[in-house]
Amino acid sequence: MALNDISKLEVTDAMLGDLTTVANSVDSLAKLVSATDGADRHVGIGAVAKAIAPKLEVSTAEAREMLFALFNIYQAQTQLDLSAQATVDLMLRSLEMAAEKDLVQLAKRWKAAAPKIVAALGQLHSDHPLVIASKAYRVATSRQYELVEMRIFTDLRPVFNEAGDSILQAVITHVLSIDYHDGTDHRVIQFNLDANDVKDLKEMCARAERKATVVKRDLRELPWPTTVFREPTEPRE
């Protein structure tokens, strides 16, 4: 969202998507925020959506879309340092000033839904579980690079004779391939691994899992919940 001019917001595609989602789900906003407010602590808005979706009788994807839309509007509110009412009024004014026919229609729906949107936004605050979940995600992922995927490829490499018409030997090798994001750039880096490297990597992963389990167990008596980031809740097939 463009927040340079407090008298009017530029209606970007991202903003339009959020406003449309909130307008479409206005009758579910109260139940949505109520379910979120009563949810356990989670890391990331997606995790919150997964936890509350059954209560709302919607899919996780639908809950996630609604939560992100509402949260993005709340973020705009905090950046502008406005009340919930003033934020909704500002967004309505921006829609009404737009010339596009679709935005005019959305403005009418937004105006009709305004009281419910204001009520939902008014329940969010800096220590709300939804806001804390977003902050927890930033804490967990605030590293220079973001891992996308990692795989280990196992290759059989033949060694040929000088003439190239006969295999004299074969060597099994491993390659650790890591896909990651460097800002907006997608990059891949690969490492050759021998059998000892694979063994050491396996042991390090097992040790990391044990340490996380111990820390989680030993901190369970503290007055805040401690979770393992993206800990599987079900065994992988």
Residue with tokens 């220590």: 127
Give the number of other CB atoms < 10 A from CB of residue 64. Answer: 20
End-to-end CA distance of the chain, in Å? 41
Distance of CA 146 to the CA centre of its chain: 12
Q: Is 65:90 a contact under the CB 8 Å cutoff?
A: no
Q: Which two tokens stand for residue 221?
A: 């008596």
The DSSP secondary structure of 162-180, one letter per residue, reads: TTSSSEEEEEEEEEEEEEE
Query: Phi and psi of 7, rounded to 5°?
Result: -85, -15
State residue 156's pLDDT score.
95
The angle at the Cα of 64, spanning 42 to 21, to the nearest 5 degrees, equals: 140
In one-letter notation, the amino acid at residue 138 is: R
Residues paired with 154 in a beta bridge: 174
- The type of residue at 234 is E
Only one residue has tokens 């800990």, namely 231
- For residue 39, what pLDDT is reported? 66
pLDDT in tens, the chain (237 residues): 444 445 556 767 788 889 999 998 888 888 888 888 776 788 899 999 998 898 888 899 999 999 999 999 999 999 889 999 999 999 888 888 776 667 778 888 889 999 999 999 999 999 999 999 999 988 888 888 888 999 999 999 999 999 999 999 999 999 999 999 888 889 999 999 999 999 999 999 999 999 999 998 888 888 888 888 878 766 554
Q: What is the predicted pLDDT for the residue at 93?
A: 86
What whole-number distance in Å separates Cα of residue 86 and Cα of residue 92?
A: 10
Predicted local distance difference test score (pLDDT) of residue 2: 46
